Structure 1
Amino acid sequence: MPGHWSHTEAIQEVRERGEGFVWIGLHEPNQEQIQGIAETFGLHELAVEDAVHAHQRPKLERYDDTLFMVFRTVRYVEHDSPTTANEIVESGELMAFLGADFVITVRHGNHAGLAHLRRELDADPERMAAGPASVLHAIADHVVDHFLTVTERIEDDIDAMETEVFAPRTRVTSEQIYLFKREVLELRRAVLPLATPLRRLAEGYTRLVPDDVRSYFRNVHDHVTTVADRVAAFDELLTTLVDATLGKITLQLNSDMRKITAWAAIIAVPTALAGIYGMNFDYMPELQLRYGYPMIIGIILLICLTLYRVFRKKNWL
């Protein structure tokens, strides 16, 4: 319908015509901004409160003749190196109220806008003919596509980190890997809980989703399952990298301790002999020998050289 319409006028026009639906998009609304819309469309107060305050996990709830679905959106944050980045995954939230003749979306965060998605749907009247459920499917597919994109980029980062960890004289620490693991956990929180709501929609949870749209939700659910499996594999691989990093640190400490021990043993030889001949007794062997001093020095050098060669042969030095 061309022109400018208020939400009240739009829904009245749709219901008088008996065809079409209303799609309203909101970005981080406060209670006052959403209150009028909630009263017009009969939105449940608990769902409205969740939409305003956000910080929800992905879920699907049914209130009388209205569905309320929450998505966690993610965006890949560009960085120079995965071992130095403080943030890799930026998350947001997207809520959708679905009725028989309306869909209301509430977005939190500065990414995952739906303007281009609306243009794509407007250009495809056949999809729009399926009603508000087609919009909900398009949103779900859009969110999951971003999951796949972020997952592919994170996989490249993990490959680079794995190469760095096993490189000689690596500077990657376990703390850096834990930070990356925390970012993967952020992605996991967005992906895993979404599988259940999508499965319920694909299995006929509500009459608001026609049978011809349910199969599309099944396809989105398959994609989420694929992403969830990959994210779980990322978590296991990062745990392995942490163990490998700690193992390399332990090995390096053992190597350092061997070197310290070897040099301490070598230094102990002249220290012991100097201590013996520094006791100032009147009667001690070799004190009156003309070549006693160079002889003792030679003995010290010989013993130290022998110890050095022994430790080198054992790879302690």
Structure 2
Amino acid sequence: MSTHNSPAKVPHPHPNVILELITYDRNNFAKYDDLDITTLLSKLEKDKVNWINIDGLNNQEVIDKVQEHFGLHYLLIDDVVADQRPKSEEFENHLFFTMKMLHRIEGMQIDYEQISFVLGPNYLISFQEKEGDLFEGFRGRIQQDVGKVRKKNADYLLYRLIDIITDSYYTVLDKIGDIIDDIEEDAYENPSTRSFNQIQQLKKEIIFLRKALYPLREAVGRIVKGESDFISDECIRYYSDVYDHIAHLIDSLDTYKDLTAGLLDIHINAMNTKMNEVMKVLTVISTIFMPLTFIVGVYGMNFRFMPELHWKYGYFAVWGVMAIIFFGMLAFFRRKKWF
């Protein structure tokens, strides 16, 4: 556990860190979002659910004080501040859970951040990498006492936040489905380097989602199996529902993975077809002009005795022969449906 000498109290949090505390029970609700970390920790109430949300991980003082107050293991803190695969891990006094939170997909890139949770008997700490999340509407529901959250404990609060994040995956996957449809249409009509690059970028994003969802299913599965002392039997069925959603997301993702691989085949085939058409036209043109070039080459030789050179109608006869050859070969290729 890290320890630091107590610094002087500051009136506001570090500009790179936003602190928020929500405390509630069936009859009471309070929210604090303009306090330094020391004052915020003093507002915790043992007989209520306490949700501490930390946006930004750049202030070591805040992290150290939270770690010291709740007795968090230093390995847990390392997982919070480092890029970590989704997982759940139980310590003596709390449960640690981390996952990827998807905000949106812009262009071909997913905007995401890592979010970590520490669940204790009457508290939940959420660590976010940057300002802004998916929970603003949910905070209003808590304040207005809509739904079950005010009647439940902190383990139910953790379930609701995980469920909200999981729902965001559906939004991103739906957008990926639309992108696949657009790329497929472009690949058929106008295959290009741009569509190829889009397919490659899409493959990278799908790989990222696989790395986010498969470990997440495993992490939630450990909770569903009843391996945590911090999740009540009553809440297990809620986590089981999240598990089913994640399994469905993985099935959809596997389908999109196959479709993306198919897109690459479509693109390659379309490019080959386009190239073949170009080569066919060039071959036809070259074939038509070969005999014409031969004729021109013959009469371009500088021999002294060439009978046609002194013939009155020689020039026009050569043009006539070349025209007959040209249109004859053109008709022949048309009949063979070569173009």
Per the TM superposition, whether the score is higher than 0.5 is yes
More deviation, 120-129/172-181: 120-129
1:117 matched to 2:138? The reply is: yes
Q: Does the 8 A contact of 2:191 with 2:270 survive in 1?
A: no
- Distance in 1, Cα, partners of 2:40 & 2:300: 101
1:252 matched to 2:274? The reply is: yes
Q: 1:50 to 1:282 in 2, by over 3 A?
A: same
Counterpart of 1:194 in structure 2 is 216
Identity of aligned residues (%): 27
1:31 matched to 2:60? The reply is: yes
Counterpart of 2:328 in structure 1 is 306
1:74 matched to 2:109? The reply is: no
Shift of 1:10: 4.0
Q: Deviation per CA, 1:82-107: give whole Å up to 9, x if none.
A: xxx3x442111111001122211111
Q: Give the SS at the match of 1:43.
A: coil
- Distance in 2, Cα, partners of 1:291 & 1:93: 86
Counterpart of 2:22 in structure 1 is none
- Distance in 2, Cα, partners of 1:245 & 1:126: 50
Counterpart of 2:39 in structure 1 is 6
1:280 matched to 2:302? The reply is: yes
Q: 1:166 to 1:111 in 2, by over 3 A?
A: farther
Q: Deviation per CA, 1:228-283: give whole Å up to 9, x if none.
A: 11112112111111111111111111111111111112222221112112222233
1:98 matched to 2:140? The reply is: no
CA RMSD of aligned residues (A): 2.3
List runs of 5+ in structure 2 lacking aligned partners: 1-27, 33-37
User: How do 1:156-175 and structure 2 match up within 5 A?
Assistant: 156-167=178-189, 169=190, 173-175=195-197
One-letter amino acid of the counterpart of residue 318, structure 2: I
Q: Give the SS at the match of 2:308.
A: coil
Q: Give the SS at the match of 1:92.
A: strand
- Distance in 2, Cα, partners of 1:124 & 1:42: 33
Counterpart of 1:218 in structure 2 is 240
Q: 1:110 to 1:10 in 2, by over 3 A?
A: closer
Q: Does the 8 A contact of 2:191 with 2:267 survive in 1?
A: no
Shift of 1:185: 3.2
Moved beyond 6 Å, runs of 4+: none
TM-score, normalisation: structure 2? 0.81
* Count, aligned residues: 303
Shift of 1:118: 3.2
- Distance in 2, Cα, partners of 1:162 & 1:230: 18
Shift of 1:159: 2.2
Counterpart of 1:62 in structure 2 is 90
TM-score, normalisation: structure 1? 0.87
Q: Give the SS at the match of 1:173.
A: helix
Shift of 1:285: 4.3
Q: 1:3 to 1:150 in 2, by over 3 A?
A: closer
Shift of 1:125: 7.9
User: How do 1:132-171 and structure 2 match up within 5 A?
Assistant: 132-167=154-189, 169=190
Q: Give the SS at the match of 1:26.
A: strand
- Distance in 1, Cα, partners of 2:280 & 2:175: 42
Q: Give the SS at the match of 1:119.
A: helix
Q: Deviation per CA, 1:162-186: give whole Å up to 9, x if none.
A: 233323x455621122223333333
List runs of 5+ in structure 1 lacking aligned partners: 79-84
Higher relative contact order (CA 8 A, sep 6+): 1
Counterpart of 2:74 in structure 1 is 45
Counterpart of 1:204 in structure 2 is 226
More deviation, 243-252/175-184: 175-184
More deviation, 59-68/242-251: 59-68
Shift of 1:47: 1.0
More deviation, 27-36/138-147: 27-36
Counterpart of 1:81 in structure 2 is none
